[in-house]
Each structure stands twice: as C-alpha cells, then as structure tokens.
Amino acid sequence: MTSNEKRVLTIDDDGAACRTIDLVARTAGFEARSTSDATEFFRLVEDWQPTHLVLDLVMPGLDGVDVLHRLAEMGTDAQVIVTSGHGQRVAEAARRVARELSLASPGILPKPFSASLLRRLLHEDEGVSPCANAGSGRFLAITAADINSGLERREFVAHYQPKIDCATERIVGFEALARWDHPEVGVVFPDSFIRQAEDGDLINALSEQVAESALAWFGRTFAPHGLELALNFSGRAVSDPGLADAMSSLCTRYGVCETQIVLEVTETYAMADPTAALALLTRFRIRGFQLAIDDFGIGYSSLAQLARLPFSELKVDRSFVASARTSEESRKIVAALISLSHSLGLRVAAEGVEDGETLAILRDLGCHHAQGYFIGRPMGPEETRIWVENKLAPGQAINGRP
C-alpha cells in the first residue's frame, strides 16, 4: 500500500490554470504537479501515483474522453476532477463517462475556477473508497480467501448514516453500510469487497453477517423509538430463496418489526430480470419489509416495469442530488424523479445531500427523506448513538416519540 500522502496531478494546456490549481492544492495540504503533455501525464500517473487528477477536457490534439478511457485501462484509483471552459453540461457529460468507466469522480470544476470548489472537491473522496487506495485492489488485492477469513473472524460490520425527514428535519432512521474491520488495514469500504464477495459466492454469508450486526445494534438501541433501518442487498443476495426467512428470524431475535426494515436493491438489479424480481421482491413485501430502489436514475428503467414492481421507496442517485444546487439539468431530473415518485405513490429519498441549500431545494420539491454528508457521515455504532443524542434538544425524543 502507498503512504497516505495526497498528490494532485493536473493536465491542462493553460499554464496559468495549472499554476492556480497547484497553488490551491498545496495550500490544501497536497503535493501538486501539472503538465500540458499527455505522455508526461500518463507517465506520472504510473510512477507518481497521484491520488487526484484534474483533467482539462479540451486540449489541442488531446481528447478528454480518450484520456478517461486510458485511465480506466490503467486501473487508476485516483479521483478524477473534470474541468472545462466549454460549459457545465459538457463537463457533466464527461463525468458521467468517467463513472461509467468505473473511475472515481467527486465532481466537475467549471472554468473560471473557484478555489473553494476545488478545495471541496479535493476533500470529497471519502464516499468512494478512502481506504488507502484499496478501491480497485491495485494496492490491496482482496481475494475471496481473504473475505472468507474475515467472515470467519466476524469482521464484517455496519456503519450507519442517518436519514432525516426533509420537512421536519427529524431523524427517521439509518442506512447500514457494510464495512470490513480489518485487523491490519483498518476500515475497508464496500467498493473493495462486494464485487469480490459476489464473484467468490460469499455475498450471502457477508450480507447475513452485516445484517445481523446491524439488527443487533438497531434492536438494542433504536427499534423501540419507531425508527427505520435500511440495508443494502445485491441482486445475488436477494435472489437467495432463504433470505426472506433469515431476515424474519433476525427481526424476531432482535425485537425489530419487519416494517422497520427497508431493503435497498439497485435499479440495475431490478431491471435485469423484472419477472424474477417481481416474484422475489413480493415475498419480502408480504412479510412486511419495505423495499427501496437504490441509485435511481443512472440505469435504464422502464417506467412500466418500475410501476409493476412492489417498491415502497425510490432513492434518487447521489450524482443528481450532489449537483442539484449547481446544475439546472440535475435539478430538473431530481424534480422529475420526485414528482414521478409522488404519482406512483412511492416515498422518495435523496442521497448525497452535501449542503443546506440542497436540502432546502429538496424540501421545496416535496422530497420526503434525505441523507448525505451535510446531515451526517456514516459512523460506527457508538458514534452514531452519540450523534443522535447530541442532535436532540434536552428532553426531546427521537422522532418526537417518548
């Protein structure tokens, strides 16, 4: 693994832009280098291993989309910040290309630069995979055997991110996010092990371990207050015919009512085989579990299929929410998804709320629930309990209940 130092590498044909970015990055505690030469840029990506890349999309003789493809081929873990003087729409489109190529991209930096936006983007990578470049397994190659050992030692746990009601700003519950409490590496994030667990046929065991840890904590601490706990399941785990029974047993064991549990599955899963999903998901609903369609808006849903499937909640993907304040296009998409949810009778939640202005926009648009760094980052169980206590005024009860 590399050291924890942060390194920014910029490619831009405008020397003044390079100097500005280098200066802002250095004052933010980063090492910084810049170049206008593509060969030099790719050499530095290999040799210097930057943690952040600032990429000017339009340079003479160089196509920014080609650069993104090359970076994806190289398997870089760096956070890619796209900059462009050709308008926000082009930069946002390029960022979508980056995401589809599985590159991490905390945001776009429209020209002329705002130093504060650049500083914010440079500190934005936690949601992706902060575990010392563990993201692609380039520095920390995680195998199925490693995961198996972690499962045997019961090292897979959950961290919790609070969710609030947009109108009242009261806590409504938490989303449990898997974390691997690794004895040598520290906390490992799901981007580094979920896919490997699926490939190694370990996802069911892993999902159960995380669910058990979350339900035990939630049942003990918060279930009596009527809050909700959301759990993420990949398609492979949801397709396990034993999961509904296993989840009901856990609810009984830890004194949690099924209606307090929200199972989150991604839009991609739901749409891959809607006929199979219909039967599987209905079984959960019959037992009382709530179902959320996660990361909505980035897949290719058929609205007819969405209406047929028994979801109770739609979670707007954080890529639209995080940019709703600055991008008119994103704001319109968020508004349309909220309105669609209302007309389908679904609860709608927004994830990736990073500032108060975005929360106000969501409230005005009629969004029901919100979560994001502005409200609270994912936290360990004890930290979450303290966070909830501190949020409450003396004498106030969670969710207004005694």
- Site residues, ligand C2E (CB under 6 A): 127, 161, 177-178, 189-191, 194, 207, 210, 232-234, 264, 294-295, 318, 322, 351-354, 372-373, 378
Q: How far is the CB of 198 from ligand C2E (least distance, A)?
A: 8
End-to-end CA distance of the chain: 49
Those residues with Cβ within 8 angstroms of residue 116's Cβ, 6 or more apart along the chain or in another chain: none
Nearer to ligand C2E, 11 or 164 (CB): 164
Residue nearest to ligand C2E (CB): 127
Q: 12 or 313: whose CB is closer to ligand C2E?
A: 313
Bridge partner list, 188: 180
Cis upstream peptide for 112 (omega within 30°)? yes
Contact indicator for 369, 166 with CB cutoff of 8 Å: yes
* DSSP letter for each residue of 153-222: TT-EEEEEEEEEETTT--EEEEEEEEEEEETTTEEE-GGGTHHHHHHTT-HHHHHHHHHHHHHHHHHHHT
Residue 146 binding result from ligand C2E, Mg ion, none, given CB thresholds of 5 to 8 Å by partner type: none
Distances (CA, A) of 318 to 120, 321, 331: 16, 5, 12
Min. distance of Cβ 292 from Mg ion in angstroms? 7
Nearer to ligand C2E, 189 or 311 (CB): 189
Residue number with CB closer to ligand C2E (200 or 352): 352
Q: Which x/- pattern over 211-250 shows residues binding Mg ion (rule: CB under 5 A)?
A: ---------------------x------------------
Helices (DSSP H) in 266-327: which residue ranges? 267-272, 274-286, 303-308, 318-322
Restricting to residues 247-306, which ones interact with Mg ion according to CB under 5 A?
A: 264, 294-295
Residue 295: CB minimum distance to Mg ion, A: 4
Nearer to ligand C2E, 101 or 187 (CB): 187
Of 7 and 318, which CB lies nearer to ligand C2E in the complex structure? 318
With H, G, I as helix, E, B as strand and everything else as coil, classify residue 46.
helix
373 touches which of ligand C2E, Mg ion, none (CB within 5 to 8 A by kind)? ligand C2E
Quote the least distance from Cβ 78 to ligand C2E, whole Å.
Answer: 16
Which of the 8 DSSP states describes residue 51?
S
Whole-number minimum distance, CB 130 to ligand C2E, in Å? 8
The one of ligand C2E, Mg ion, none whose footprint includes residue 177, by CB under 5 to 8 A per kind, is ligand C2E
The least CB distance from residue 194 to ligand C2E, in Å, is: 5
Q: Which stretch binds Mg ion (CB under 5 A): 91-99, 157-165, 255-263, 349-357?
A: 349-357
Helices (H), 345-380: 356-365
**CA 374 – CA 351 distance, rounded (Å):** 10
Q: How far is CA 380 from CA 162, 205, 230, in A?
A: 11, 21, 15
Closest CA to 347 of 264, 257, 235, 232: 264
Residue 177 CB, nearest approach to Mg ion (Å):
7
Closest CB 189 distance from ligand C2E, rounded Å:
4
Q: Decide whether 41 or 233 has the Cβ nearer to Mg ion.
A: 233
Which of ligand C2E, Mg ion, none binds 233 (CB below 5-8 Å, type-dependent)?
ligand C2E
Q: Which residue has the tokens 């003789």?
A: 61
Contact indicator for 162, 156 with CB cutoff of 8 Å:
no
Task: Enumerate binding residues for Mg ion (CB under 5 A).
Answer: 232, 264, 294-295, 351
